Every structure is written in C-alpha cells, then in structure tokens.
Structure 1
Amino acid sequence: MLSYLIQQSRHLLIAASLSSVVAGVCSVLLVTQINAALTAGSAADRAALALRFALIAVAAMLSQMLASVLFERLSQRAHADLRRFISARVVRTDFRKLEDIGGPRVQSALAEHSARVAEFFVSFPMILVNAIIVAGCLAYMAWLSWQVFLAAVLVIGLGSLGYHLAHLRAIRHLEAAAEEQDRLFDHFRSLVDGAKELRLNAAKRARFSKDVLGGSIETVRRERAFGMSVFVVSAAWGNFLVYAFIGLVLFMLVGDVADSARVMTGFALVFVYMVAPLEGLLLALPRANLAKVSGVRIDEITRQLEPTEADAPEQAAAELTSLTLQGLRHRYYHEGSDDLFTLGPVDLSFSPGQVTYLVGGNGSGKTSLAKLLVGLYRPEQGVILFNEDVVDDASRDRYRQAFSAIFSDFHLFEHLLDGPVADLDARGNQLIEKLHLQHKVQLKNGAFTTRALSQGQRKRLALVVAYLEDRPFLVFDEWAADQDPVFKEVFYRELLPALKAQGKCVLVISHDDRYFHLADRLVRMENGQVAAVEVPPSMAAGSLAPLRPSQPPSEQGSAGVAVHRFAADGRADDRAVA
C-alpha cells in the first residue's frame, strides 16, 4: 500500500524529499558555523561567518517551509487516494465476499488505518530532516577526530541495538491493538444500532458498556500504551547514552590532542544539537511502524476485495423476455442449525407481466434465493438464463442491471444517483404524494430533503426509488412488514397490479397470507427447497403454459414439486393440477 501511494505521488514526493534534504544539510552547516564562531580569532573572520550563518539560516527556513507544505499536500493526497482506492474495491467486490469481511473492517480501513498512513507522510519530512542532521553531525565529528568518532559510533550502535530489540517487542503490541481496533468499530456500530435494546435492558446495557465495549477500549488502550511506552523508554535510553558520551569526551577521551578546545567544543556542541533530532527520529519511527501496520491491514482487506467480475456499462437495463433458473444451488452458514445450509437445487422461470409471491417460514432460504436471483450471490451449481443467454462472471454485473430490489435490510441513499433526468424531481414528488409523504419529505435536485423517518416511511421512499429506476424486474423482500394496513392494501391491490400492467416482472417475499390469492403464483419454500408452486385457476393448466415458455419440469409437477390451484376464497386447494 505504501508503494502504491509513493507511485501515485512520486514527483511531489521527490520534490518534498529534496527540500527536506536541503533543510537537513543547512541545519548541519549551521552547527559548523556556530562551532567556528566560538573559536574564531579576528573580527574579520567573525564578520564573514556572520554573513554565511545568515544565508544558511534563511536557506534552512525556506527549505523547511517548502518541505512541510509539500508533505502536507502529499498527506492529504495520500489520504484521498487511499479512500478512493478502498472505496473502489468495495464497490466492485463480490457481495458475498463483502458480507464475509464485514462492515467494521472496511470502515476501520477507510477511517483509522488510512488516516495513519496519511499521517506518516506528514511526519516523513521531519524523519528525513532529522536523519540528515544526525548523519551530517556524525560526518562532522569524523572530520574533527576519527578516534573520538569511533567511540561515538559505538555509543550510537549500542543505543540503536537497544532500540531495535525494544521495537520488536513493541510492534507486537501495536499489531494486537490494530486487530482489536477492528472489533471495536463493530462495537461502536452496535452502540448506535442497538440503542433501543440497550435502553430497555439495564443489565444488558451495563454488561455491554463495561465488559464488551469497555473491555475492547481497554485492550486497545493497554496494547497501544505499552507499545508506545517501550518506544519512549528506548528513546530515553538513547538520550542517556548521548549525555554519557559527552561526559566521556569532555573529561576522558580528548586528552592532550592538538586543538583540543575546538575538538571538545565541537563534539559537545554537536551531541547537544543531536539530542533533539535524534529523539525526534526515535519517536517518529513508532508512527512509521503504526503506518506500516495500518498499511498491512489495508493490504489484507483490499486483497480480499479483489474484483472478480467485469463492470457493466452505464446504460439502460436490457429488456426482459425470459429468465430461467436451472438447478441453482448455493450453500452458506446457517446460524439456526450451526451448519452449512444448502439452498436448492431450484428450477424456476419468470416472465414479464408476472407477479410471484415467495413464501415460507423464517430460515427457509427465501432471501438467499432472491439474492441468487438478482445476481448478488454466485451460484455454486446450476445456471441462470437471461433471455436464453447464460449468466457468467463476464455478464453478471450487466445482468444485475435488470433488477431493482428492496431487501429487508435496505439502505436509502440521500441522492437518487440515476443520472440527470429533467423531470426526475417532478415524477418522484408525484409518487411521494401518492404514498402520503409529501408533508415530511420532498425531492429537490435529485435528493431527498430528509431521511429522518420511520422504517415504514423510508421503505416507501425506497419504493419511489425503485419506481424511478424503471427496471424490468422488481424484488420486494417483506416490504409491507413495516406498513400500516392502509398501505398494505395500496401495495398489494394497487401498486403490484400497476407494475404488472406495465409489463414488469415482480417477486414479492411475504407473510401476508390474506393477499396470497392476488398473486399470479405462489412459490413455497421449506428448508432451502421449492416445496410447491401454487397458481390460481386462471393460471392453471392450459393458461399457464403460454405465460412461461421455458418452464422447468419442477414447476409442472414432474420433479416432486406440487402445483396447486386456488380455491374460491383465495386459499390454496391441495388438489394437484392434472
């Protein structure tokens, strides 16, 4: 991930790095001029040194300002590039894979991990400047006295070894904190999404606050505090070695060497000057390590989000003439049985102008079948034929464009996102008025004025979006479950027939058995299997065949699936259709 960011902004990074190098070199030259001024003899020499000192100081200031500005811009660009990169992967990834990864890990990558990587670019100029200063000071010490320089290298080597050993210990705790951070984001989401449940149960609220959320917060705090403390302690150990070496230079190492005053002054001055850059360098390295850990976490997530399908072109959905599921099978983990749940094999066909109700008990596989149907899940076995063409990875995203769906866990976007349409607001507001929401929300410039509505009201807005998308196939997953009886009547007796009259194919997942007789057919599911396909008298026998030209055998009653007709009162008659 760091390599990717460097490639994205390599020209800006090179310019900022060169400015930092110039700033570091100028800082070292200032130290040499200070040492020369302390030992200068004549006034003329001091005047020349003053001019050079002023020029170098101005150059150091300008180069440091330029480096800081460039790296700040680089940081903001890195943060934006990271968010765009991760978001693009999320948008294009397989839906099932995204469900397995989970929202908290993705949110953590978009928020904290990307911010840490971006912060590294802000601290990079100081790391580079401090590294240049330390290296330049070492070179100046070698020029003053190579014997004392060797002792200085030994001291710095011991300090670096201790810091490296501390680094190995600290990084493990920082990585543990990063892993716990992903779980903490999930707890933060529960804090808001589960607010009603927490307010209703004091014991649950206390345990969640203290044991779950509090425990996770404490784990992150403890691991990070320990890891960063190790870095701070190692930095203090390095500072102690610096001052110990200054004492050795002043009182033991220089002795009676030629020009001992200049050597002692130079070494003492250089080491005192090195303390702040060296400490800054040691303290900046943990931030670099945190950025590295975050970069690794982002790499892990984005590798799992690798797209496997070709993107569909932004164009109108293809016209639906026929849609057939043949031997469709899919497996997933089922919490109720704590085992893999097998959906299918399913054989069904759909045609324009047909309203199908998908019914069955909870956990029977209705929603999973709907996700298979619309292309959100990839079937493990069997094929989907769309207008007689097989749907595969190359065409699945294009196939999905034929559907509008409102699932039970739907999300309502603020904007319609359907492109610029001149009369979009007017058409949308007409639908909003029909759904009796005109006093609460309006469409303005393609966006809803508010989304602070009840669940049932937001579902009605989602229905407006589905209407405006004008796709040939619509799927409603328990849409009427949160509606008042009045709107249930409107939905089943007015909206669905209107969609049918427009030639739309509609699949409705429902438990409202009082409206089952209004369907063109009822598909019953039990334990992941299509147990029965029930049809009203007008659709039975001979009138059924012309509606579905590519009927699988299972819908004709020849594969163990019962086909029923409705009695006069709208309830299913168990007599099999001949």
Structure 2
Amino acid sequence: MSLFGMLVRTSHTRLAVAIGASLVCGLANVLLVALINQALNAPLDGLASYALPFVLVIALVMGSQVLSRALFAYLSQQGLATLRMHISRHVVAAPLRGLEKAGRGRIQAALADDTTTLSNFFTGFPMLVTSAVVVLGCLGYLAYLSWVIFLVSVLAIGLGSLGYHLCHSHMLQYFRKAGASQDELFGHFDAMVSGAKELKLNRSKARRFLDEVLVSAVEQVRRNRAKGLMLFAITGGWGRLLFLILIGLVLFLRLWVPSDTAVITGYVMVFLYMMGPLEGVLLNLPQMSQARVASARIEATLAQLQAETCSQTPAPAVQAKGVTLELNGLTHGYFSEREDEVFTLGPVALTLKPGQITFLVGGNGSGKTTLAKLIAGLYVPESGEVRVDGRPVAAQERDDYRQLFSAVFSDFHLFDTLLEAPDSSLDSQAAQWLSKLHLDHKVSVSNGSFSTRELSQGQRKRLALIVACLEGRPVIIFDEWAADQDPAFREVFYCELLPELRAQGKTLLVISHDDRYFHLADQLIKLERGQIVSR
C-alpha cells in the first residue's frame, strides 16, 4: 500500500468530510460571483431581494472554509504522527545491516523533512480543492454567459498548463536533487553536533568544516530548490500573463464587435475573481510535486529497511540461567572501507557454554565486534548454523533468538529509562548495582527512569552495564567495556563482576585487549582477519 493510501485509510471519514466541505466552499464561491454579478446589473427596486441570499452564501462560504481547513489541519498533524510511527516501526524491525546501509542521515531526513513535506501538502489541500472548484465553476459560468469567451478562456488556461507541464519534469528533477543533497546535509548536521569537541579544539578544522563542507552542502540544497521554485514562478507568471491578455481582449472587443457593457463587466469580474483561485492551484502544485518526491524517498528508504521474517509468537520468557550456543561454519562478508575490499568473517566454529567466560581477542579490524553481532543475531550469517542447547535457530526465529542477549557494545546507546515491564523491585535492584559500581552519588532510579545521563563516558558505560544485568538475559556480551574505565574499575570488572555473573550461570562473551586479565578466561579465542587462529 502507498503512503497516501495508508493515510487515507487511517482517517477516511474525516477526509471525506473535509473534501466535501472544500467542494461546498468552492461551489459557494462560484455562486457568490454569480450573485454579485446579478446584483450589479439588477434594477434599484429589486436590489433588496439579493441581500438575504448574499448573507446566506457568505455564511456558507465561511462555514465550509473553516470546517475544511480545521479538518485538514487535524489530518495534517495526524498524518505526520502516523508517518513517523510507520517509519519508526520499520526502523525498529529492520536488520542492523540495512540500517547501516541506509545511513543515519537518510533515516533522519525521512523522519523529519520528508514527513513534514507530506504533512504540509495536506495542510494546503483544502485550498487546492476549493480553488480548483472555483476555477471550474467560473468556467462553467462563462460558458453559460458566452461559449466563445469560454472557449477562449479554456485555450488560455490550456496554454498556461502546457507551459507548466513543460517545466514540471525539470522542477521534479531539481526537487529530487535537493532531497538527495539534504540527506548529506543531515549527515553533516549530525557530525557538527557529535564532533563539537573536536571542532572546538581545532579552529582551522572548524572553519573549514563550516566554510567548505557545510556551506557546500547547504548551497546544493538551496540551489536545487531555488531552481525548481524559479521554474514554477516563471510558469505562474506565464499563466497570469495569458489571463491578463484575455481580459484585455474582452475589454477591447467592443472596438470591433458591439457588446453589452454589463455582459463585458461580468466577464471581466469573473476573470479577475478566477485569477486568485487559479494562482492558488498553481501555488499548491509545487507542494504536490514535493510531496510526490518526499513520498518516493520515504518508500525507497523503507524498501532498504525491509523487516526480517519473524514468527508471530509472543516473545519468549526470559531465562535466568545461561544457554549453550554452538556456531557451526558461520560466515559473513561485508565491504571494508578500511581495506577497500570485501571482508569475510569465518567460517567460525565455536561453542559458548553457561557459567563460562569466553574472551574474544585480536587486533583492530580482525572482526571481533562483527563476530559478536553475528553471535547475537544482529547480523545474518551467509552460511552455517547456530544452535541453542542443541536446537538449530531457523530464520523466522532469529528475533526470538536475539531476546537471549544483553550487550554493551563500544558504540552503545543509553536510554533515559530502563524500558522494562513494570516491576516494583526494579528500582531497588538498580540501586544495589549503582552502589556496587559507585554511581549512587551520581544517579538514582525512580520508576525505571534515571535521574541523569550527564556522566563521563566511563560512568555511562557502568550505567549501561547495570541496564544489561537488570535485563536478566542468559547471554551477555561486553565489547571493550573496560576500555574507558580507570584501573580500579577494570579490576572490579574482571575480578568481581564477571566471576559473579559466571556464578549466576550466565553465558559470557567479553571482547578485550587487557592481556593482563586473559588468565581469568575459561576460553580464549583469538581472531586474525576474520579467522580463529587459536583458542
């Protein structure tokens, strides 16, 4: 189903009422024009009979206009919320590799800019419908007054539409380029915030980032959008010129063809009245084009975020004790920018047992984190199989399989709440862990929410460890956890926390460079260029 179809289905009743109100508003405007024209040409003694119809038509115009705009404003915001939740669900359900390929900038642009563009189209839709009805109604009224003037008017509008059509494809091309440039711009905005420390420490780097990188990206978006809107402005000017020429022809037609002044006045008044709605239609056409581009970009992004095949069974209950994981011939390949070639991990044959600490060691780029993500089910193996307590994991069970794991990766994210099911004992358990890791003077937990996350990197990592342990999963992965800790907390981690978790029967995988603690491992696995070289 298309995005527009999805939005229509979610609020079809309100949408129908809003469109109906817009149609009534347009027809009432046409009726008002006809009423004014008749009143202008009515004899003085009959003018009073037009007062009540005039008041009723004005009330109908205002009431229908307010109703349509209010409903479309509501639908616009509801559509914005629906689209953002729709995209967010795809992001959460997408494979990790798909998210990495799509990129943070593209996803943020879809959630922020493209959805807003579609929402703005809904906001302007009542004006588009009303204006279109007014233009069609005025043309119908012209046909009633004079078929010749009607045909000349249609010819003028046709020539204006032809000019718009000739420019339309170029406008779309510029809007698409602007959208692609904006993805890159969002990436630079993210880099500007994430790299604020580095930019402040290097003035010349900050200047080059602003004056070269950011200015170039901003300029590309500005240039492409400006060109598209300039083409639209030229097209709109061409259409307006044709209408003014048409008015001039009607005005000066009396020089060659005898005509009733009252009838000519009616023509001119209809033309002048019709120009505003016609411009309203033309003004909303770029929004329609931008909405089409935004919709296509969102759908292309969602196509990259195809959800994994998952079983529809309820989430499995959390197991308190560890499980045995067997990896048989697992392989996974991806393009490594560092090596400028496809990096292949495996085939890997490995067994992780409950109540056992496995250290995964090796140089940078050897594939340790990739293997950890493969073990955790975040990456899909290209070949081989994974067994849990002797039972193979099927493709549709991969999401259930991931629920066995908690992990603290080197690029971890710390949410401001524990996001666990309500549990009266959760706060007290968290308080015990905070005290154990010497964070109780910095952070407290109330109703599953942290009082602050404004901590050092090492302290944030300790907080992430607490979150992982409170999840109660049977398998825990620590990716270079001790790298940001001082010597005292490294000692606590390796000599106290890991043995404690092992005693609870957890299956533990620890990525580490701390060779002074390697002797504490029950199993030591060394990787080099994606291959296990020793164990």
Same fold (TM over 0.5): yes
- 8 Å CA contact 1:254, 1:264 repeated in 2: no
Instruction: Give the alignment of 1:543-558 within 5 angstroms.
Output: none
Correspondence for 1:34: 36
Correspondence for 1:96: 97
Match of 2:10 among 8, 11, 15: 8
Query: Which secondary structure does the structure 2 equivalent of 1:394 belong to?
Result: helix
More divergent stretch after superposition (482-491 vs 203-212): 203-212
Q: Given the two structures, how large is their TM-score scaled by the length of structure 1?
A: 0.90
Instruction: Give the alignment of 1:137-536 within 5 angstroms.
Output: 137-252=138-253, 256=257, 260-310=260-310, 313-318=314-319, 320-533=322-535
Correspondence for 1:552: none
Aligned letter for 1:419?
A
Aligned letter for 1:112?
D
Query: Which secondary structure does the structure 2 equivalent of 1:40 belong to?
Result: coil
Residues 124 and 213 of structure 1, relative CA distance in 2, 3 Å threshold: same
State the Cα deviation string for residues 266-318 of structure 1 (Å, max 9, x = none).
11001111111111111111011111110010010112212122156234234
Deviation at 1:320?
Answer: 4.1
Runs of 4+ in structure 1 over 4 Å off:
253-258
State the Cα deviation string for residues 163-183 of structure 1 (Å, max 9, x = none).
111222222111100110111
For 1:9 and 1:470, how far apart are their aligned partners in 2?
41
State the Cα deviation string for residues 385-404 of structure 1 (Å, max 9, x = none).
11111112211111111110
Query: Which secondary structure does the structure 2 equivalent of 1:348 belong to?
Result: strand
User: Which of the two has higher C-alpha Rg?
Assistant: 1
Residues 219 and 8 of structure 1, relative CA distance in 2, 3 Å threshold: same
For 1:314 and 1:420, how far apart are their aligned partners in 2?
16
- 8 Å CA contact 2:323, 2:474 repeated in 1: no
Query: Which secondary structure does the structure 2 equivalent of 1:395 belong to?
Result: helix
- 8 Å CA contact 1:356, 1:507 repeated in 2: yes
Aligned letter for 1:17?
I
Aligned letter for 1:91?
V
Residues 49 and 255 of structure 1, relative CA distance in 2, 3 Å threshold: farther
Correspondence for 2:87: 86
For 1:525 and 1:169, how far apart are their aligned partners in 2?
53
Aligned letter for 1:122?
T
Correspondence for 1:548: none
Deviation at 1:433?
Answer: 1.5
More divergent stretch after superposition (94-103 vs 215-224): 94-103
Aligned letter for 2:264?
M
Percent identity over the alignment is 50
For 2:339 and 2:460, how far apart are their aligned partners in 1?
33
Deviation at 1:201?
Answer: 2.3
Instruction: Report how many residues are paired.
Output: 531
State the Cα deviation string for residues 58-100 of structure 1 (Å, max 9, x = none).
0110000000111011101100110111001111111111111
Aligned letter for 2:516?
R
Residues 345 and 253 of structure 1, relative CA distance in 2, 3 Å threshold: farther
For 1:336 and 1:152, how far apart are their aligned partners in 2?
65
State the Cα deviation string for residues 523-553 of structure 1 (Å, max 9, x = none).
11111111111xxxxxxxxxxxxxxxxxxxx
For 2:143 and 2:398, how far apart are their aligned partners in 1?
68
For 1:394 and 1:307, how far apart are their aligned partners in 2?
11
For 1:322 and 1:518, how far apart are their aligned partners in 2?
20
State the Cα deviation string for residues 205-225 of structure 1 (Å, max 9, x = none).
222111111100011011111
- 8 Å CA contact 1:148, 1:254 repeated in 2: no
- 8 Å CA contact 2:480, 2:513 repeated in 1: yes
Q: Given the two structures, how large is their TM-score scaled by the length of structure 2?
A: 0.97
State the Cα deviation string for residues 96-147 of structure 1 (Å, max 9, x = none).
1111111111111000000110111010000000000101000000100001
For 1:156 and 1:287, how far apart are their aligned partners in 2?
20
Structure 1 residue 75 corresponds to structure 2 residue 76 = yes
